[in-house]
Structure formats: structure tokens, C-alpha cells
Chain A
Amino acid sequence: MSHDSAWYEIRLQGQLHPRWASWFDGLTVTSAADGTTVIHGRVADQAALHGVLQKLRDLGLPLLSVARIDSDPAKHSTPGELS
């Protein structure tokens, strides 16, 4: 378990408007073609990750997956790779 910052990818059921990026402290909000949304970016530590998850809970959006990913943002920001 790392206590340092890391890149995470969180997948949700439903399409979230990009305006929500600010709500998630600057994480990237991307809609995928399959009707899901991916939120990804660097979170400071585990506490920050749980903060993001709590905000998702507060919106009532079903959570599909949470994964730690490589640190290369470009690799994960194209919608094509997400579906």
C-alpha cells in the first residue's frame, strides 16, 4: 500500500457532464461510447481517493470499477481506449 500520490481510473455507470471535473478537484471526466464515464487523474493519497469516492456516492452514481494505473495520462485519456 502506497501512501504517495498515484494515478487512478474510476469507471461509472452513466454519462457525467465534463462540468463535474471541478467537483472532483481537477480530475478528468470523460464519457465513453458505452454509456459509462471514466474519471481519471492523479490523487494525492488514499485519503484523497476516498474523498473522490465519497463524492461519487453523494451523486448516487453506480460505481463499476476503481483501478490504479500507470502514470502516463496520455495513454488513458483517449475515449477509444476506454471502451
Chain B
Amino acid sequence: MHSPLLESKLYLPRNRQALVPRARLAERLRRRDGIRLTLVSAPAGFGKTTLLSALVTERPGRTAWVSLEESDRHATTFWTYLLTALERAAPGVGEGGLGLLQSGQAPIESVLAVVLNELSVLPDDVDLVLDDYHLADGPEIQPGMAFLVEHLPPQVQLLISTRADPALPLARLRARGELVEIRAADLRFTADEATAYLNDLTGLDLDAADIATLEGRTEGWIAALRLAALSLQGRDDATAFIEGFAGDDRYVVDYLLDEVLDRQADDVRRFLLETSIADRLTGPLCDAVTGRSGGKAMLETLERQNLFLVPLDDHRRWYRYHHLFGDVLRTHLREERGDLGELHRRASRWYEEAGETVAAVRHALAAGDADHAADLVELAVPALQRERLEPTLRRWLDDIPNDVVQKRPVLAVGFIGALMSCNEFDGVGQRIDDVERVLAGPADVLAVVDRGELAKLPGAIETYRAALALAGGDPAATIEHAGRAIDRAVDGDHLTSAAASALAGLANWAAGDLEAAHAGYTTAARDLQRIGYIADVLGCSITLADIETTQGRLRQAQTTFERALDLGEGLRGTADMYVGLSRLALERNDLDAASNYLRRAEDLGPAAGLPQNPYRWRVAMARLREAEGDLVGARDQLDAAERVYVGDFAPNVRPIAAHRARVMVAQGHLSAARDWVRQQGLSANDGLSYLREFEHMTLARILLAERARGEAIRLLERLQAAAWAGGRIGTVIEILVLRALAQDDVAPLERSLTLAEPEGYVRVFIAEGPPMTSMLASLAQRRPDWPYPRRLLDAVRRPTSQAPKPTGEQVLVEPLSDRELDVLRLLAGELDGPSIARQLVVSLNTVRTHTKHIYAKLGVTNRRSAVRRAHQLNLLTR
């Protein structure tokens, strides 16, 4: 499967020909300060792209350029290109947002907040150009674009070229003076510009009257003047031609293109018309479509002669026709040939052989060859699923007629999977029924290209029924269908058995049956490993270790993470394993190790993390901060975690808000904690379930802090019974600690210690502070033969952070100033540029200057790397 990211769309088109100087426009475009949006809005052929590419090439700063297409109406595609362009322009700026985006779960505002956070401290100016915005504009991308424009930091300017005004708050931007508008009336060539173009650049030597006539007839429309210039080249009778043109009412492009085509050699004319069916042109593709050779040379000739070609790279490899001319050429072609099916079929075949399924399918559909398109899609299904490109698959469902899909069970099941992975469940049940009916019917009506997949369908169908039941909140039916899927999975179909086992595991987990859940995930991880889905193995490992921790099996959880790390280096999910190890280290009260693991996770960068890692990392950091006694820092991390929170299929058994309520209790902010209880509708008399156990434990802590001991004890007793019955020993250990404190009774503590000792728990005891310390002390005195209580007491006395860390300032050639260190510390937090400026009571420009010096001294180019480097050099320890 070809990568869906097309390089040519990020290519800044260079103006290879000399341009008409346009001082009057340059003057208006020069301003950068205070301008959020430069809008170039005019019909086709007014030189919008040329103007913007000349502008951003000339002025200092970095450029992120995206040439948009129809397919960019889909939000994920659009934002992927936009963030990738930013990442290319300023490395480090887009990658965090891209990671979140790929999860498919984060709201676009969260994705953009991460990117804006980076952009806002960038020392350089950035031009973000969205060319042909009208192709992408629509309800899918509008909310994110409005958010982006509203929050754009001053060093970034958005430049949009479009044929229709974008659905952005233009009136507001205009009123605030933050908008520069260039419209058709501004872009038209004036008489002077037309003269410069026709005579100076094209060398036509026309007199003023002829130029005035041309300018009048074309109304300064640049595309028309360009065609006129082509028609006039080598003509002796320029004046007669111009008069004929001026006296004609026909659509100027029609008239002139007829002239231009008439003047081309037959082979050139044929080449132009036939290849106009392709969105992009390259030599071999043109050869395939025209059935002749010499395509590459022809393209280069056309480019030299300025015949409508737009280069898409710097290597003279890929081109496209200027959109307007492409449309006109295709209309001429259709008039001459009628049926264009054969040309599209040839293009489809060429793309198929080149392995570019997306383009091959597009041309097959254009050829009216729905069956062949369906063949291509069916064969691409496994690769699309493996590469998580289900949204691409999902879009084809709209293009391939239903009756073609219905007789193809393999394809139909592929589409069912695509729909469900895009969270579209409506009508899926009906589709599954349909496929089963077709499969039960006579075999000779079935169309199947991918024979190997046919045998897998019964298992796959039950897997999707299980997933549908889970989405519908029916764990019992999920488990039932998953069991059937495993029974029906053919030998060697590890994907089906893995998916079904994971679904059963998930349903059991949500139902609180941790042992069955553990068994399901263990099988899923084994089968996923067999088929090389390593990122998913790591995902399962997180769940397995979570379950093991809840069961009070810390050592097993440690092994689970370590084994997962042995699967390979730098894999997606590796960072999550380190975050998990950090949490386990914290339970053992090894704060240095916990901190080191988090740093390693961060050093690996966003590519090594699963979509949930950004929030899990911050929650782990919050708990570390809390252990270090930095409660404000812990709250900050939890707030940040909430901003980057991304859910997955798994139940959210430890909500961030509950963590925060616990920190509030530690801070003594009991009324705030009580607000949380109210918002969640929690009460000590609730029925108990595993899914809300963490929240009820938090409630018990709040009750204790409120000195409602009787109520707290009753709740804890019920929680203990439920946790014990569910085999959740990890929870029981914590409950017993709280009961010991609530009842001022050492007996529950002794039981807790007995359960905890083999697994090496420390934090859960010593986190409770002086009351627990004195209980442990009396216990140690009473039972001198028992070393565990004494070890815990030692841990209380030991300073959390050992020897003073060496400072790394001396390794810098040029040390950071105190002020730069202040800025650096703030860069390590979550504030954006303007907020940092406010905090330090300086201007944003000052912050940017500091940032620039910091980056230079640390030898980095972006915020994330600066913070990482600062950690390595221990510059952030206060």
C-alpha cells in the first residue's frame, strides 16, 4: 500500500519563469505585524498561487505550504497535511499534535492547542499557506480552522488562496484590522502590467492600442492574457488576431484554447487532451495513457513552452495541469472522444502496477469499471487494516455501488470493519445479516478475488458482532459472540482470534471479572505477536499490567512491561512501557527510578507513544510530583493531562478528575473536593462496581478528611468485600490502610502489610504521613522480628531525592542567564508564549528573544527538544 501522504502537496511551487513586478500588491502584502490572515480570493487563473509563492519566498521566515485537494475535505486528512507542513517548516512543532491526531480520539482543539503551544514560543516567523482552500473548505474542517485563526500567535501568519471566501470570521478580523485582502479587482493586470507581461516577458512587441484591446477583452484576467500570448507567438498578423478576438462573444478561455490547440503539432495536441484525465502527470504514466513513448520529454517541452503545466517537485518528475486549463482540456477531449473509459482504464492499470491503489481505484471508477475498482479495494483491505487506514477504505464505500459490494462478501466484511473503526454503527447489524445471507446462498453468485480471506469470514463476522454488542453496552453478548468467533476462526487466522480474545477481555474487564479479562488479553497479545502487530501487543501489555496491579501483583506487572520492552527498540508503545515502569517504581517509593523512566519515555519522542501516552505520562508525573510534596505541580500536571486526554475502548477506571480530587484532599481544599463528589453524583450509599471503585475510594478519602469516620468506615467495609470477591488485592491493600487510619486500629494495617510485603509495596503506606508513621513505629516496636514495618519507616526518613544532583551548566559553552533559566522553566510547563510573557511581565517579543538564545545555547530548534536537553543537563532543578 502506498503511503497516503503525497509529498507534492507540501511542495512550495517555485516560480521558474520571470514574473511581472507587482509593486502595488507587494506593498499591501508586506505587513506582517498584527495580521492574522492574508486572504487572496479570486476566480481561477488570477495568479493567486504565483503571488503567494513569490511573497513567501521573498520574505524572511519559515514557510509551511499545503496545496489542497478535494480529498482534504476530510478533517483527518486536512489536519495531517497542515500539521506535517508545519513540522517540516519548524521541526518539533507539529509532531505532538500529529500523534494526538492519529489517535482519532482527541478533539481538534486539543490537537491544535499542543501545536499552538509550540508555535507561540518559536523565535522565527512562520507563513502557513493553504493554497486552493476552496477545495477543502467545509463543515468538517471549519471548527478547527476557526479555532486556529482565533488562537494564532503573532509570529504565525495564515495565508489562504481560494476561489470562494472561506467560512471564517472575516468580518471580525476585518474590523480588528487583522486581515489583508487581495481580490480579483486587485489581481487583474493593469495596462502597465499587461504591457510588461506581453512585451517585456513574452517578447511580443505589441503596440499600446493592441494591448489596450486585449486588456479590455480579457478584463485583465491573467489566464486569458497568458493564452492570448501563446496564440500570438510567431504570428505576423497580431493586430488582426486581436481584433477578431475582441469582436467575439465567446468564453475567452474557449476561444483562446481553440486557437492554442489549433497551433500545436498533432502529437502535442493529442498528448494535451489525452493526459488531461490525470490529476498528476509523470512520464511513464503519460506513456501508459497515450499508448506512446516520450512522455517525459513531452512534459519537459510543455513546461519550457509555458503550456499550462505546474511542476510538483524540483526534479521535473511530477506535474499537473493548471486547474482551469485541465478542466477546459477535458471538456474538449470529451467532445472529441465521447467515452473516456479506455484512457481512465489505462491510467488505472498503470497506478495498479505502481502499487498506488488509491489512484488506481479512482481511475477505475472514472472508467465506469466498478467491478474492477471493487477487486482492487478487496485486495487492499488487509494492508489498509494493518496500516490503520480504515478511513480511506470507508470513503470507497460511498463510491462503489451497493449491488457490486453485496455479491462480494470479503469486500462487504472489509467495509463493515471500516465503518466500525470510524465509529459508524448505524446499519452495521443489517450489513452483517446481509453478508451472512449471501454466504449461506449458492456459491456461484459470489464474487471473491481474495480467496484466502473467504474462509476467514465466519470468524470475522462473529468478531464484528461482538464489537457491535460491546459498542451497544452489552458485555454478555460481546463475550458470547467473541467465544463463537474464536471457535470459528480457521487455523492460522491469528488476527480474528486476537481481536475476539481482546473483545472478550474488554467485556470481562468492564464487567469486573479481572481473571477472565486477563486471560483474554493474554491470548490476544500472544496472537498479535505471531502476526507482528507489535504496537498492539504493547497496548495489550498496558491493560495486562493494569489488571495485575489492581490484583496486587506488582512483580508480575513489572515482568509484563519488561517482556514487552524486549520485543524491540523504538517501537510505538515503548514510551508507554516506561510510563508503566515509572508507576511501579513509585509504588516501591523509588522516586529517582520513577523520574528516570518518565524522562526516558519523553526522550523517545511522540512517535514511540500510543495515543493515550501523553495523558498517562502526565498523570504519572502528577503522582511523582505529589510524592515529592509538590502538590501545585501535581495539580498542573493533572490539568495538562485532562487537556490531552484521549480515550480508547477500555473503561476509564481511574478518571483524571478523581486523581485531582485526591490532590485537593492533600492540599486541604475540602470544599473543592466535595464539589467533585457532587458533580459525579457520588454517594457513600451507591451500589458498588469495579468501574467506579477508584472514585468510591476517593470518596472514602474525602469522608475521612471531613472526619465523617462512621460513613467512611461503612463505605470502606463494603468496598473491601467487593474488592476481595473480585480478587482486587491491590485495592484491598489500600482499603485496609484507610481502615486502619479511620478506626485508629493496627489490626487492618497488619493484614494489609501481610498482603503487601511479598510484592514490595511502600508508597501506599508512607504516603499517609505522620498518623501512619506512628502506627508503623508502634508496630515495629511490638513485633521486632518483622523487618517490613521497619523498612517502611526507613523509607519515610530517607530524603525522597538523594544526593544533590550535579548541575550541568558548565558543559554549556555559553551558560544560560538567570532570566533565560526562568524562561526555560516555564517552557517546561504548559503555558503558551503570551502567558509566559505575562508571567514574567515582559513582552512576547522579549520571550521570543530569550527563546532564541536558549535554543542557540542548547543547540536545539524547538521547545520539546529544549526541555529534553534541559532535563539531561539538570538545568531545571531549582
Q: Any chain B CB within 8 A of the CB of A58?
A: yes
Which of B72-80, B196-204, B323-331, B746-754 forms contacts with chain A? B323-331
Asked if B43 and A60 sit within 8 Å, CB to CB, the answer is yes
| Chain B, 313-337, CB within 8 A of any chain A CB | 323-324, 327-328, 330-332, 334-335
Residues of B within 8 A of A20 (CB): 331
| B254 closest partner in A (C-beta) | A17
Q: In the bound complex, what is the Cα–Cα distance between A26 and B164 (angstroms)?
A: 25
Given A58-B44, A58-B323, A60-B44, A17–B251 Cβ distance below 8 Å? Answer: yes
Residues of B within 8 A of A61 (CB): 251
Asked if A58 and B249 sit within 8 Å, CB to CB, the answer is no
| Shortest distance from the beta carbon of B72 to any chain A beta carbon, whole Å | 16
Q: In the bound complex, what is the Cα–Cα distance between A58 and B164 (angstroms)?
A: 10
Asked if B163 and A22 sit within 8 Å, CB to CB, the answer is no
Residues of B within 8 A of A17 (CB): 250-251, 254
Asked if A14 and B332 sit within 8 Å, CB to CB, the answer is no
| B45 closest partner in A (C-beta) | A60
Q: Any chain B CB within 8 A of the CB of A35?
A: yes
Q: How many residues of B contact A (CB 8 A)?
A: 22
Q: Any chain B CB within 8 A of the CB of A16?
A: yes
| B42 closest partner in A (C-beta) | A60
Asked if A35 and B327 sit within 8 Å, CB to CB, the answer is no
Asked if A35 and B249 sit within 8 Å, CB to CB, the answer is yes
Q: Any chain B CB within 8 A of the CB of A68?
A: no
Q: In the bound complex, what is the Cα–Cα distance between A20 and B330 (angstroms)?
A: 10
Q: Any chain A CB within 8 A of the CB of B415?
A: no
| Shortest distance from the beta carbon of A51 to any chain B beta carbon, whole Å | 12
Q: In the bound complex, what is the Cα–Cα distance between A15 and B255 (angstroms)?
A: 10
| Chain A, 57-81, CB within 8 A of any chain B CB | 57-61
| Chain A, 9-41, CB within 8 A of any chain B CB | 14-17, 19-20, 22-23, 31, 35, 37
Most buried by B among A15, A16, A58, A61: A58
| Chain A, 36-62, CB within 8 A of any chain B CB | 37, 57-61
Q: Contact string, B244-255, partner A, CB cutoff 8 A, digits 1/0? A: 000001111110
Q: Any chain A CB within 8 A of the CB of B575?
A: no
The one of A19, A57, A60 in contact with B253, judged by C-beta atoms closer than 8 angstroms, is A60
Residues of A within 8 A of B253 (CB): 59-60
| Shortest distance from the beta carbon of A24 to any chain B beta carbon, whole Å | 10
Given A14-B252, A16-B254, A58–B327 Cβ distance below 8 Å? Answer: yes
Q: In the bound complex, what is the Cα–Cα distance between A35 and B249 (angstroms)?
A: 6
With contacts defined as CB atoms under 8 Å apart, how many contacts are there between chain A and chain B in the complex?
Answer: 51
| A19 closest partner in B (C-beta) | B335
Residues of A within 8 A of B324 (CB): 58-60
Given A15-B249, A59-B324, A23–B163 Cβ distance below 8 Å? Answer: no
Asked if B163 and A57 sit within 8 Å, CB to CB, the answer is yes
Residues of A within 8 A of B249 (CB): 14-15, 31, 35
The one of A15, A23, A31 in contact with B331, judged by C-beta atoms closer than 8 angstroms, is A23
| Shortest distance from the beta carbon of A8 to any chain B beta carbon, whole Å | 19
Q: In the bound complex, what is the Cα–Cα distance between A50 and B410 (angstroms)?
A: 36
Residues of B within 8 A of A58 (CB): 43-44, 163, 323-324, 327
Q: Any chain A CB within 8 A of the CB of B221?
A: yes
Asked if B334 and A15 sit within 8 Å, CB to CB, the answer is no
Q: Any chain A CB within 8 A of the CB of B223?
A: yes
Given A57-B43, A58-B323, A60-B45, A14–B251 Cβ distance below 8 Å? Answer: yes
Residues of A within 8 A of B44 (CB): 58-60
| B46 closest partner in A (C-beta) | A60
Given A60-B43, A60-B324, A22–B251 Cβ distance below 8 Å? Answer: no
Residues of A within 8 A of B164 (CB): 57
The one of B163, B251, B323 in contact with A15, judged by C-beta atoms closer than 8 angstroms, is B251
| Shortest distance from the beta carbon of B650 to any chain A beta carbon, whole Å | 40
Asked if A22 and B250 sit within 8 Å, CB to CB, the answer is no
Most buried by A among B44, B249, B323, B334: B249
| Chain B, 8-56, CB within 8 A of any chain A CB | 43-45
Given A15-B249, A60-B223, A22–B334 Cβ distance below 8 Å? Answer: yes
Asked if A59 and B163 sit within 8 Å, CB to CB, the answer is no
Residues of B within 8 A of A19 (CB): 331-332, 334-335
Q: In the bound complex, what is the Cα–Cα distance between A31 and B249 (angstroms)?
A: 10
Q: In the bound complex, what is the Cα–Cα distance between A65 and B96 (angstroms)?
A: 49
| Chain B, 233-259, CB within 8 A of any chain A CB | 249-254
Q: In the bound complex, what is the Cα–Cα distance between A14 and B253 (angstroms)?
A: 11
Most buried by A among B45, B251, B323, B330: B251
Asked if A22 and B223 sit within 8 Å, CB to CB, the answer is no
Residues of B within 8 A of A16 (CB): 250-251, 254
Residues of B within 8 A of A23 (CB): 327, 330-331, 334
Residues of B within 8 A of A15 (CB): 249-251
| Shortest distance from the beta carbon of B756 to any chain A beta carbon, whole Å | 65
Q: In the bound complex, what is the Cα–Cα distance between A17 and B250 (angstroms)?
A: 7
| A37 closest partner in B (C-beta) | B251
Q: In the bound complex, what is the Cα–Cα distance between A60 and B327 (angstroms)?
A: 11
| Shortest distance from the beta carbon of A41 to any chain B beta carbon, whole Å | 17
Q: In the bound complex, what is the Cα–Cα distance between A22 and B221 (angstroms)?
A: 25
Q: In the bound complex, what is the Cα–Cα distance between A59 and B255 (angstroms)?
A: 13
| Shortest distance from the beta carbon of B459 to any chain A beta carbon, whole Å | 40
Residues of A within 8 A of B323 (CB): 58
Residues of B within 8 A of A57 (CB): 43, 163-164
Q: Contact string, B199-243, partner A, CB cutoff 8 A, digits 1/0? A: 000000000000000000000010100000000000000000000
Residues of B within 8 A of A37 (CB): 251
Q: In the bound complex, what is the Cα–Cα distance between A35 and B221 (angstroms)?
A: 19
Q: In the bound complex, what is the Cα–Cα distance between A58 and B330 (angstroms)?
A: 14
| Shortest distance from the beta carbon of A30 to any chain B beta carbon, whole Å | 13
Q: In the bound complex, what is the Cα–Cα distance between A37 and B251 (angstroms)?
A: 10
Q: In the bound complex, what is the Cα–Cα distance between A60 and B249 (angstroms)?
A: 15
Residues of A within 8 A of B328 (CB): 59
Q: In the bound complex, what is the Cα–Cα distance between A16 and B202 (angstroms)?
A: 28
Q: In the bound complex, what is the Cα–Cα distance between A59 and B322 (angstroms)?
A: 12
| Shortest distance from the beta carbon of A27 to any chain B beta carbon, whole Å | 14
Q: In the bound complex, what is the Cα–Cα distance between A60 and B642 (angstroms)?
A: 48
Q: In the bound complex, what is the Cα–Cα distance between A14 and B254 (angstroms)?
A: 11
Q: In the bound complex, what is the Cα–Cα distance between A57 and B45 (angstroms)?
A: 11
Q: In the bound complex, what is the Cα–Cα distance between A61 and B331 (angstroms)?
A: 16
Given A17-B250, A35-B249, A60–B331 Cβ distance below 8 Å? Answer: no
| A23 closest partner in B (C-beta) | B331
| A60 closest partner in B (C-beta) | B43
Q: In the bound complex, what is the Cα–Cα distance between A22 and B164 (angstroms)?
A: 24
Residues of A within 8 A of B254 (CB): 16-17
| Shortest distance from the beta carbon of B631 to any chain A beta carbon, whole Å | 56
| Shortest distance from the beta carbon of A22 to any chain B beta carbon, whole Å | 5
| Shortest distance from the beta carbon of A11 to any chain B beta carbon, whole Å | 14
Q: In the bound complex, what is the Cα–Cα distance between A31 and B334 (angstroms)?
A: 20
Most buried by B among A17, A23, A61: A17
Q: In the bound complex, what is the Cα–Cα distance between A35 and B334 (angstroms)?
A: 25
Residues of B within 8 A of A60 (CB): 43-45, 221, 223, 253, 324
| Shortest distance from the beta carbon of A25 to any chain B beta carbon, whole Å | 12
| B323 closest partner in A (C-beta) | A58
Q: In the bound complex, what is the Cα–Cα distance between A37 and B330 (angstroms)?
A: 20
Q: In the bound complex, what is the Cα–Cα distance between A35 and B252 (angstroms)?
A: 12
Q: In the bound complex, what is the Cα–Cα distance between A22 and B338 (angstroms)?
A: 10
Residues of A within 8 A of B334 (CB): 19, 22-23
Question: Which A positions have Cβ atoms within 8 angstroms of B?
Answer: 14-17, 19-20, 22-23, 31, 35, 37, 57-61
- Give 20 CB contacts A-B under 8 Å: A15-B249, A16-B251, A19-B332, A19-B334, A19-B335, A22-B334, A22-B335, A23-B327, A23-B334, A31-B249, A57-B163, A57-B164, A58-B43, A58-B323, A58-B324, A58-B327, A59-B253, A60-B44, A60-B221, A61-B251
Q: Which 4 pairs, one residue from A and one from B, show the smallest C-beta to C-beta distance?
A: A60-B43, A19-B335, A35-B249, A15-B249
17 more contacts with CB within 8 A, not counting A20-B331, A60-B324, A61-B251, are: A15-B251, A16-B251, A16-B254, A17-B251, A17-B254, A19-B331, A19-B334, A22-B335, A35-B249, A37-B251, A57-B43, A58-B43, A58-B163, A59-B251, A59-B324, A60-B44, A60-B221
